[in-house]
Amino acid sequence: MLRLLRLTLPALAALGAAVAGAQSWTVVGGEGARKFVPYTGINAGNVARLGIAWDYHTGELVRRGEFVNRSARIQVNPILLPAEAGGHLMICTPFGRVVALDPARGTERWVFEPNIRIGGYATPGDPQGLKSPAYANCRGVAWWTDAGAPVGAGCRHRILLATHDLRLMALDARNGRLCPGFGQGGIVNVEPDVLAAAPPANVGEVKFPGPPVVINDVVVVGSTVRDFHRANAPDGAVRAFDARSGAPRWTFHPVPREADDPAAAGWPGDSARNTGGANAWGMMSVDAARDLLFVPTSGPSPDYYGGTRPGDNRYADSIVALRGATGEVVWHFQTVHHDVWDYDNSAQPALVDLVKDGTPFPAVVQATKTGMLYIFHRETGEPYFPIEERAVPQGGVPGETLSPTQPFPVKPPPLVPHEFTDADFWGLTPWARRRCLEQFGDARRGPIFTPPSLAGSIIVPSSAGGVNWGGVAIDPATKLLVVNVLRMAHFAQLIPRADPGGQGSGDAGNPMMGEPVPLLGTPYALRQMPLLAPPGLPCTAPPYAELVAVDLERGEIRWRSTLGTWDRSLPPPLAGAPFSLPLPLKWGTPTFAGPMLTASGLVFIGATGDDRFRAFDAATGRELWSARLPTSAFTLPMSYEVEGRQFVVVAAGGHPFVYPKPGDLIRAYALPVP
């Protein structure tokens, strides 16, 4: 049953005084998804003096310890509401629990518990079902103001929450109570529509990862769709609702469902009817003034094999600009044709105003897992730099028809390596290199877009990127883009199935760590893993992760800086096994999430598997400061000013399959009080 757990609001007058003058980070990713703040209080001259201002533990380690340890991701990016909306710092836990905090002290103001369904499902076609919560997550909440409601009215300011069990909820920002005029008692239950869609979904296969996005008076939600499972996966629809009433406004299908959809030409025959996915599991962004919503879409089902879905498969693996009011496609661009590498577009598109040939160019930047940056005109989709279709490797598995070309921007250059040769096999010792060759020496290798094969292929960059969901940070004044990139390779192999028509449970192995998993509805099972060999070190040379700065208008890389220290703090499976090194090595570690920029020229970032939170000089890439966290922060930092003091906030909770050292911490840093 839904219930309000705790309400500890201070007097409203005192609350207003506490947040007076606060400048707000009111949307996940910051304004325009630039992950930039205009503050200069913390700068290169004093960042070394940063200390802990406050800590808040969500309590989920105690409340749901088993699930947190197994599969929860604390990746929340808090938002700060303006004073008229309560001035709260808003967070959500991986299980959808919403908490309003005092931004200066980190104390609770109110808590809302949605009591989401946790765990898997059982169906006739999948009798074993999921055996875990399947990576519970909540990356944030959205805020909306009903401009037509009287000042002071209940639910004039709303918090919008999308849950894993497919409910959209509207809460009164002042106190966390459900808004009665939204849906049914404050809730829109989308699950019945998802289960009835075509292809049909099973309970638990589709989730709302959050956060919703608000464009004018419309709230929009994407979804996660279960990977590595079946060809006819559930529909990856993007859904929009009226922010006031919760009534459905429109639905966009990244896999076209109507024959007259212009994208249907990329789906020969009835392949689109039997394909799902292409969902927007990454974060979307909006240009409210232009009524434009920018949607990054993922690969279609199934991953790594496209024989059941011939053609380019548009709008999958694309950036799609939609009209916010209607869901109409304004323009779109596909960054990967006929994806068989799991190269989802997961990064949040970022908005920045550039100049091209002396003319203003309102740009949207899409970073990709391939490590390429695509820059487009927000209104027209015109590329800022030319994009070329170039020939790519062919020769997929039997039944596969690959795209002969892929789109490459002329500038900026790729941010990560785009080829793997014999010379790229590496080991800390000659023995370690031999182990890598023993394990992966027979794999197919070559340039980017080398397809999966029966012998196995080395995929570079890996299916994790490149650039993953954390996206980029952009300084709107200097046009400097900063992003963390992963430089590790990946192994993928398609194994013929003895019973291609059989169903099975789909849970025959770990799909990320080398245990074969059947791709139901296809002739193959999938085996994939990071390019690691005993005792768990990569088979490629460091650095494994970098922070990279790009001059957007010139299309040039300004600097690179290794991101992360490989040392004894690394737990399995990041190091493959409990493994210690005698000295910390600045090699970089697997990196997820992203950076934040400040007007004072600092880059703040966690995102590494070494329990550290860092600050870099945005002009040079030099590391200026770092602090230890209880576990790693695979999330986005944010910053705000309140009561005359600048705070930098980050969540630390590890990662269930990259860095399984769980935590439930929200931490704020600030300079000492004078």
Collapse the DSSP code of 109 into the 3-class scheme (helix H, G, I; strand E, B; otherwise coil) and give the result. strand
| Contact of 406 with 449, CB cutoff 8 Å | yes
| Contact of 531 with 539, CB cutoff 8 Å | yes
Buried b (16+ CB within 10 A) or exposed e, 122-147: eeeebeebbebbbbbbbbbbbbbbbe
In the DSSP assignment, the letter for residue 216 is: T
Rounded to an integer, what distance in angstroms lies between the CA atom of residue 68 and that of residue 62? 9
Determine the Cα angle at 205 with ends 593 and 93, to 5°: 45
In sign, the C-alpha dihedral spanning 249, 255, 258, 262 is positive
Rounded to an integer, what distance in angstroms lies between the CA atom of residue 152 and that of residue 161? 22
Radius of gyration of the chain (CA): 24
Q: How many CB atoms lie within 10 A of CB 319?
A: 24
In the DSSP assignment, the letter for residue 553 is: T
Rounded to an integer, what distance in angstroms lies between the CA atom of residue 500 and that of residue 485? 37
**Which of 298, 303, 294, 300 has the alpha carbon at shortest distance from 281?**
298
Rounded to an integer, what distance in angstroms lies between the CA atom of residue 565 and that of residue 575? 12
Long-range contacts, 167-172 (Cβ 8 Å, 24+): 167/114, 167/116, 167/191, 167/208, 168/208, 168/212, 168/219, 168/221, 168/241, 168/246, 169/114, 170/243, 170/246, 171/98, 171/112
**Which of 22, 41, 107, 20 has the alpha carbon at shortest distance from 672?**
41
Rounded to an integer, what distance in angstroms lies between the CA atom of residue 512 and that of residue 303? 12
pLDDT computed for residue 8 by the predictor: 39
Burial bucket for residue 465 (CB in 10 Å: 0-12, 13-18, 19+): buried
Summarize pLDDT for 142-172 with one digit per residue, the tens: 999 999 999 999 999 999 999 989 999 999 9
Summarize pLDDT for 290-314 with one digit per residue, the tens: 999 999 999 999 999 999 999 999 9
Collapse the DSSP code of 396 into the 3-class scheme (helix H, G, I; strand E, B; otherwise coil) and give the result. coil
pLDDT computed for residue 70 by the predictor: 62
pLDDT computed for residue 294 by the predictor: 98
Cis ω for the linkage preceding 535 (within 30 of 0): yes
Q: State the CATH architecture for 190-470+490-530.
A: 8 Propeller (2.140)
**Which of 143, 138, 159 has the alpha carbon at shortest distance from 208?**
138
Q: How many helices (H) and strands (E) does the chain have?
A: 5, 43
| Regions in the chain scoring below 70 on pLDDT | 1-24, 65-70, 119-135, 499-513, 535, 568-583
Tokens standing for residue 547: 């922070």
Alpha carbon 446 to chain centroid, angstroms = 28
pLDDT computed for residue 84 by the predictor: 94
Following DSSP, what letter does each residue of 117-155 receive, concatenated?
--S---BTTBSS--SS--S-B----EEEE-TTSPTT-TT
pTM as predicted: 0.93
| Domain parsing of the chain, residue ranges | 30-72+552-635+644-674, 190-470+490-530
Helix (H) or strand (E) run with residue 60 in it = helix 60-63
Following DSSP, what letter does each residue of 321-357 receive, concatenated?
EEETTT--EEEEEESSSS--S-----SPPEEEEEEET
